[in-house]
C-alpha cells in the first residue's frame, strides 16, 4: 500500500480549523498520514501541540516564528520556543526563514529571528523547516552559517531558480515540492527543476489550504487545498521525473520519516 506524509499543513488556519476531524480522516482514507502541522508563531505553535495531543500518531507539528511574524520575536521568545520545542509531538523548529515578497516584518527583524531560530535548533539538535521567498541570497548565507551544526534542514515550498536549487542542494537541504508545479502560469520553471532533485532529498507537501493544484480534474468545488490531494501532487511530480508514482511516493515517505525521525510503522488509520 502506497503511503504519504504531508510535511506542511496549516491546519489551524481560519480556512481549515473548523473541519479538522474531517480533514484528518479524509487524508487518511487517501493514505496520507501522519500530517505535519505548521507553527507560524509561538501562540499557534502552542495550539498545534495541544491539537497533536488529541490525534496521537496522526498529527505532529513544528514550532517556530514565520518571517511574517518576525517582528514579534523579542528577548523572551527563545525561552518560550525552547519550552515548546521540547514537547513530544514537536518534530522540527519552524516555520522560519525570510520572505522579501510580502515584507510583513522588516527585513532586519526577519534575519534576526531566522538566525536566532537556527541557533536554537543547533542547541537542541533539532531539524528545521524553512521558508524562503525572493530572499535567496540572504537566506542561503544565514543557513550556511549554521548548517554544519544542524542535524537536518528542509526548505519547504521551493519555488526558486535553478541556481538557487543547486545552492540549496550544495548546503545538503531537503527540498519540499507543492502543487505550485501544477500551475501552468507560475510553475513552469519549477516543473523543469523537479527532475534535478536527488531522490534522497525530495519531499512532497500540500501547504494546505494554499496552492490548490490548478491542473486537477475534476476541479475541486472548494478553493481549499487539502492533504487528501497529496497523491495527485506526487503523481504529477513522478511524471515530470519519469518515475512511477509508487516509487516517488516511497522515496518521499522515507525521506520524511528520516527527516522528522518518525517511525515508519505509523501507518495508522490508512486502511
CATH number, domain containing residue 211: 3.20.20.140
As a whole number, mean pLDDT of residues 86-97 equals 97
Q: Is 108 contained in some domain?
A: yes
Structural domain includes residue 55: yes
- Residue 269, in any domain of the structure: no
What integer is the mean pLDDT of 228-240? 98
Compute the distance between CA of residue 8 and CA of residue 75 in angstroms, rounded to an integer.
Answer: 28
37 contacts 46 by C-beta, under 8 angstroms: no
Q: For residues 136-140, give the mean pLDDT.
A: 98
| Binding-site residues from annotation | 95, 131, 156, 207
- Counting the structural domains of the chain, the total is 1
pLDDT at 144 over 80: yes
Radius of gyration, alpha carbons of the chain: 17
Residue ranges of E strands in 24-170: 32-37, 59-63, 90-99, 128-133, 153-155
What per-residue confidence (pLDDT) applies to 263?
76
Helix 230-241, helix 245-260: angle, nearest 10: 110
Across the range 239-249, mean pLDDT stands at 97
Query: What is the pLDDT at residue 229?
Result: 98
Q: Which residues are annotated as a binding site for a divalent metal cation?
A: 95, 131, 156, 207
Q: Is the confidence at residue 192, as pLDDT, over 80?
A: yes
Q: According to the model, what pLDDT value does residue 150 have?
A: 98
Q: In terms of pTM, does the model score above 0.85?
A: yes
Task: Assess if residue 226 is contained within a domain.
Answer: yes
pLDDT at 240: 97
Going by pLDDT thresholds of 50, 70 and 90, the confidence category of residue 1 is confident
Bridge partner list, 180: none
**Which residues form the domain of 208?**
4-260
1 or 26, higher pLDDT? 26
Q: What is the pLDDT of residue 264?
A: 61
CA 10/CA 78 separation, integer angstroms: 22
**Nearest residue to 156 (alpha-carbon basis) of 252, 19, 46:** 252
Q: Averaged over 206-216, what is the pLDDT?
A: 96
Phi, psi at 72, each rounded to 5°:
-80, -10
248 band by pLDDT with thresholds 50, 70 and 90: very high
Q: What pLDDT digit, counting tens, does each position of 43-56 carry? A: 999 999 999 999 99
In a domain, 94, yes or no: yes
Does residue 10 have a pLDDT over 70? Answer: yes
Residue 145 belongs to some domain of the structure: yes
pLDDT at 220 over 60: yes
pLDDT of residue 96: 98
* Mean pLDDT of the 209-238 span: 95
Percentage of the chain modeled with pLDDT above 90: 94
- As a whole number of angstroms, the longest Cα–Cα distance in the chain is 50
Q: Which of 57-66, 197-206, 215-224 bottoms out in mean pLDDT, i.e. has the lowest?
A: 215-224
| 265 found inside a domain | no
Inside any domain, residue 266: no
Cα dist. 93→102, 114, 160, 208 in Å? 22, 11, 22, 19
Give CA separation, 73 vs 11, 40, 89, 218, in Å: 23, 12, 23, 43
For the chain, what is the mean pLDDT?
95
Q: What percent of the chain has pLDDT over 70?
A: 97
Amino acid at each position: 500500500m502506497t503511503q504519504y506524509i504531508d510535511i506542511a499543513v496549516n491546519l489551524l488556519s481560519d480556512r481549515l480549523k473548523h473541519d479538522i476531524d474531517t480533514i484528518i480522516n479524509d487524508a487518511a482514507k487517501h493514505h496520507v498520514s501522519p500530517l505535519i502541522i505548521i507553527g507560524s508563531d509561538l501562540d499557534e505553535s502552542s495550539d498545534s501541540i495541544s491539537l497533536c495531543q488529541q490525534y496521537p500518531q496522526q498529527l505532529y507539528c513544528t514550532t517556530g516564528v514565520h518571517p511574517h511574524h518576525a517582528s514579534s520575536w523579542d528577548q523572551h521568545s527563545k525561552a518560550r520556543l525552547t519550552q515548546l520545542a521540547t514537547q513530544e509531538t514537536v518534530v522540527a523548529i519552524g516555520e522560519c526563514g525570510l520572505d522579501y515578497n510580502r515584507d510583513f516584518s522588516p527585513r532586519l527583524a526577519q534575519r534576526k529571528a531566522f538566525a536566532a531560530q537556527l541557533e536554537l535548533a543547533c542547541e537542541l539538535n533539532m531539524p528545521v523547516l524553512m521558508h524562503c521567498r525572493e530572499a535567496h541570497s540572504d537566506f542561503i548565507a544565514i543557513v550556511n552559517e549554521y548548517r554544519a551544526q544542524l542535524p537536518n534542514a528542509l526548505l519547504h515550498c521551493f519555488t526558486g531558480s535553478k541556481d538557487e536549487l543547486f545552492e540549496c542542494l550544495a548546503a545538503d537541504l531537503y527540498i519540499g515540492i507543492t502543487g505550485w508545479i501544477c500551475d501552468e502560469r507560475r510553475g513552469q520553471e519549477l516543473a523543469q527543476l523537479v527532475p534535478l532533485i536527488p531522490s534522497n532529498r525530495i519531499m512532497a507537501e500540500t501547504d494546505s489550504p494554499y496552492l490548490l493544484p490548478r491542473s486537477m480534474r475534476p476541479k475541486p468545488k472548494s478553493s481549499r487545498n487539502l492533504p487528501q490531494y497529496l497523491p495527485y501532487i506526487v503523481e504529477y511530480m513522478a511524471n515530470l521525473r519519469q518515475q512511477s508514482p509508487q516509487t516517488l511516493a516511497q522515496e518521499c515517505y522515507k525521506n520524511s520519516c528520516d527527516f522528522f525521525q518518525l517511525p515508519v510503522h505509523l501507518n495508522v488509520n490508512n486502511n
